[in-house]
């Protein structure tokens, strides 16, 4: 009888260990799953590119609002000043702080594998926001942002519709070299204008900044002068900087040099409304709510779509005038 009792105790103990093992495996799928399930504050590290533009400022504000204490979050924020090495260092710091999740708006597409593997080993899920990266997709849970290729294509389609097969001299202000926004917008735009009369005189990065756009455009004007008929700026801020350079050269932006940009920030839309820019393709920066929801879903163990796109529009002068009174950014 005693032997049977001991055997029963041992069997019960073994079953408890098995059940405990199963339970442990399930609860540690991500480091934040237990936090999410318990309804505790979710600590999120957000690695932002920097503060290079009006778009970026609106994006940062949207993220800070969405990841607020009122919504159940503690946000650890870092802006990398468009320096890839500083951004990767920030993500290392988030991992060391044992945050529940990490959100990254990548400065450039490359160089992410090692730190993402470190986050994965620490069971900290990573969600990408705004820009994409070239890393193994298994290293991040999801991405939410805008379709940069489509934005470039839409801008290019307007150019073809406006100029057709008429020989037209164009200069391009590119975004940050190596960023998915710059690369994809270039690809989409070039595909759209292929076979048209557009002649690209020069293309150079202005790093998505107003100052950069002005400096590069000054160089274009010194070299090509009044032969420039069209400017494609890959964001509003570079386009606005270029407008300053064009006006300083005694030319009329939007008239002597047609201008198409991407973003549709308030400043850009204002320039469009008065005819200094001719067409703007929207890149929607208010992604915070969608990203915050994705973070909560991932931590709760829910299945989420790997790639999630925002909805963008496009504006001519009349449409800008109509949209400006209620523009949120």
pLDDT by position in tens, the chain (length 329): 333 333 333 333 333 333 333 322 222 234 444 454 456 999 999 999 999 999 999 999 999 999 999 999 999 999 999 999 999 999 999 999 999 999 999 999 999 999 999 999 999 999 999 999 999 999 999 999 999 999 999 999 999 999 999 999 999 999 999 999 999 999 999 999 999 999 999 999 999 999 999 999 999 999 999 999 999 999 999 999 999 999 999 999 999 999 999 999 999 999 999 999 999 999 999 999 999 999 999 999 999 999 999 889 999 999 999 999 999 89
In whole angstroms, how far apart are CA 135 and each of 112, 259, 267? 6, 35, 34
Three-state SS at 186: helix
User: What are the b/e assignments for 162-193, b being 16+ CB within 10 Å?
Assistant: ebeeeebbbbbbbbbebbbbbbbbbebbbebb
Give the DSSP letter of residue 253.
B
Do residues 135 and 156 share a domain?
A: no
Looking at the structure of the chain, the number of domains it has is: 2
Q: What's the first-to-final CA gap in the chain, in angstroms?
A: 79
**Closest Cα partner for 30 from 305, 304, 293, 301?**
301
Residue 154's CATH number: 3.40.50.2300
Residues spanned by the domain of 50: 33-145+285-310
Do residues 99 and 154 share a domain?
A: no
The pLDDT assigned to 294 comes to 97
The pLDDT assigned to 17 comes to 30
**Closest Cα partner for 50 from 87, 79, 86?**
79
The pLDDT assigned to 310 comes to 86
C-alpha to C-alpha distance for 149 and 232, rounded to whole angstroms: 14
Do residues 116 and 177 share a domain?
A: no
Do residues 65 and 139 share a domain?
A: yes
Do residues 163 and 269 share a domain?
A: yes
Do residues 167 and 80 share a domain?
A: no
HSE (CB half, 13 Å, CA atoms) of 19? 6
On whether residue 27 sits in a domain, the answer given is: no
Do residues 44 and 169 share a domain?
A: no
């Amino acid at each position: 009888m005693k032997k049977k009792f001991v055997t029963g105790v041992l069997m019960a103990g073994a079953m408890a260990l098995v059940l405990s093992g199963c339970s442990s495996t399930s609860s540690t799928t991500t480091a934040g799953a237990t936090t999410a399930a318990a309804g505790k504050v979710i600590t999120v590290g957000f690695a932002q590119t920097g503060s290079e533009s009006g778009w970026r400022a609106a994006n940062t504000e949207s993220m800070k609002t969405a990841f607020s204490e009122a919504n159940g979050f503690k946000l650890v924020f870092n802006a990398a000043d468009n320096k890839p090495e500083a951004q990767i260092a920030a993500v290392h710091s988030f991992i060391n702080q044992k945050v529940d999740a990490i959100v990254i708006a990548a400065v450039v597409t490359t160089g992410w594998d090692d730190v993402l593997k470190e986050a994965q080993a620490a069971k900290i899920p990573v969600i990408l926001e705004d820009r994409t990266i070239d890393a193994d997709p298994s290293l991040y849970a999801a991405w939410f942002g805008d379709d940069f290729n489509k934005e470039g294509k839409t801008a290019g389609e307007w150019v073809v519709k406006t100029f057709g097969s008429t020989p037209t001299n164009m200069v391009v202000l590119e975004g940050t070299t190596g960023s998915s926004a710059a690369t994809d917008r270039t690809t989409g735009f070039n595909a759209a204008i292929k076979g048209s009369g557009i002649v690209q005189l020069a293309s150079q990065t202005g790093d998505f900044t107003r100052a950069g756009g002005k400096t590069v455009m000054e160089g274009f004007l010194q070299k090509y002068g009044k032969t420039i008929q069209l400017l494609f700026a890959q964001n509003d801020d570079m386009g606005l900087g270029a407008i300053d350079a064009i006006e300083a050269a005694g030319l009329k932006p939007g008239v002597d040099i047609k201008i198409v940009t991407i973003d549709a920030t308030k400043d850009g839309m204002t320039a469009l409304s008065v005819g200094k820019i001719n067409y703007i393709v929207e890149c929607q920066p208010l992604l915070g709510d969608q990203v915050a929801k994705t973070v909560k879903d991932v931590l709760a163990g829910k299945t989420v779509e790997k790639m999630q796109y925002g909805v963008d529009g496009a504006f001519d002068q009349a449409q800008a005038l109509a949209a400006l009174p209620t523009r949120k950014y």
